[in-house]
Structure 1
């Protein structure tokens, strides 16, 4: 049975290695469901400062993270949730979220569960008039999904609108599940 893990992270900045995850939103969806069958979101104390540019994007300050759990206690939970999926769905996940998560799991002696992935940024060149990789707001526009800039860049919000876009675009034939061979290669 297919289970999609829609996920997004917010970080102290880029690149991985120097920066840390400060927020994660992850849900599990069955094909065609508008709402997740399971949901997890968590802010995380990165034990370091947040780059000014990153804070301008997501609006999360160090004060917002006081008393939040550390990644070392959050990582095993996230890993178990991700292991329940057959596919990951993420926006820019192949280039950013995936490598960032993989690095952060390795720091804790854990492995990112290998799954086939569908990157709604990299596989949605059809969503922009000039064929560039769409920002999430542009993908929402192309899919007719409401996008509230005031809520954007919160992991939970971004995951929900991304999955709304994913299911609409999948119904239109734009996002196909990876083949059985690709799933085996990812394992």
Structure 2
């Protein structure tokens, strides 16, 4: 069976899509998961700035470096969303750092446009599953997770969607190899569901 894994990160104008905050950048890297050795093979990626068609608060610009001038001529979410929806509908495992934020934000923004979401998709949060990376077991920042796993991390390049997604997925690979991340239970669940459906 082919298991499709999508690592994703979004930058936004704020934390609440229901209050009109919008996506300013998205990075979605799609992998085929080889279940025998849990090896990830990249298949495709979407990585682009997005014109949110609204203001970007100054405090957000200071964190992400994404300014109105930077996104002025970029694709809008309305134009990009059908492509994202198509990829997500084929995704078996959605991976994000702080998945509760990313998954809910992306789901909201797809549903807002009347596009389907994959309700059967499994979600794996590297923040919640990465508590081993901090001395007191608190949810780690992505930088802390990478440091704990020996993955290079440049804090000056952080808070951009493609950089964060690449580093998160590097951490996932190393975490699987070293036994810190275990996707086998999720894979078994997906395979059992597919067998039942067949």
TM-score (norm 1): 0.91
Provide structure 1 residue ranges, at least 5 long, that are not aligned to the other structure.
none
Distance 1:126 1:64 in 2: 37
Aligned to 2:131: 125
Give the conservation status (yes or no) of the 8 Å contact 2:89–2:116. Answer: no
Structure 2, unaligned runs of 5 or more: 34-38, 194-198
Residue number among 93, 101, 106 corresponding to 1:96 in the alignment: 101
Paired position in structure 2 for 1:26: 28
| Pair 1:75 & 2:75 matched | no
For the pair 1:110 / 2:115, whether they are aligned, the reply is yes
Q: Any idea what the Cα deviations from partners look like across 1:113-170, whole Å, max 9, x if unmatched?
A: 2310110001111111110000000000011000011211111111111000001111
RMSD of equivalent CA atoms: 1.6
Secondary structure of 2:56 counterpart: coil
Find the partner of 1:165 among 158, 162, 171.
171
Deviates more, 1:8-17 or 1:169-178: 169-178
Contact 1:5 1:85 in 2 (8 A): yes
CA contact (8 A) 1:118 1:175 kept: no
Contact 2:176/2:182, CA 8 A, preserved across alignment: yes
Contact 1:13 1:53 in 2 (8 A): no
Contact 2:92 2:190 (C-alpha < 8 Å) held by counterparts: no
How far off is 1:53 after superposition? 2.1
Hey, what's the Cα distance between the residues in 1 that align with 2:48 and 2:14?
Answer: 17
Using the alignment, how far apart are the partners of 2:114 and 2:157 within structure 1? 34
User: Aligned partners of 1:181, 1:88: CA distance in 2, in Å?
Assistant: 14
Higher mean C-alpha deviation, range 50-59 or range 69-78: 50-59
Instruction: Report how far residue 182 of structure 1 moved.
Output: 6.9
The match for 2:12 is: 11
Q: SS at the partner of 2:143?
A: helix
**Corresponding residue number in structure 1 for 2:3:** 2
Q: Does 1:139 align with 2:145?
A: yes
The answer to whether the 8 A contact 1:101-1:112 is kept is: no
SS in 2 for 1:28: strand
Runs of 4+ in structure 1 off by over 6 angstroms are none
Highest CA radius of gyration, 1 or 2?
2
CA drift of 1:63 comes to 0.7
CA distance in 2 between partners of 1:29 and 1:42 (Å): 18
Structure 1 residue aligned with 2:154 = 148
CA contact (8 A) 1:28 1:39 kept: yes
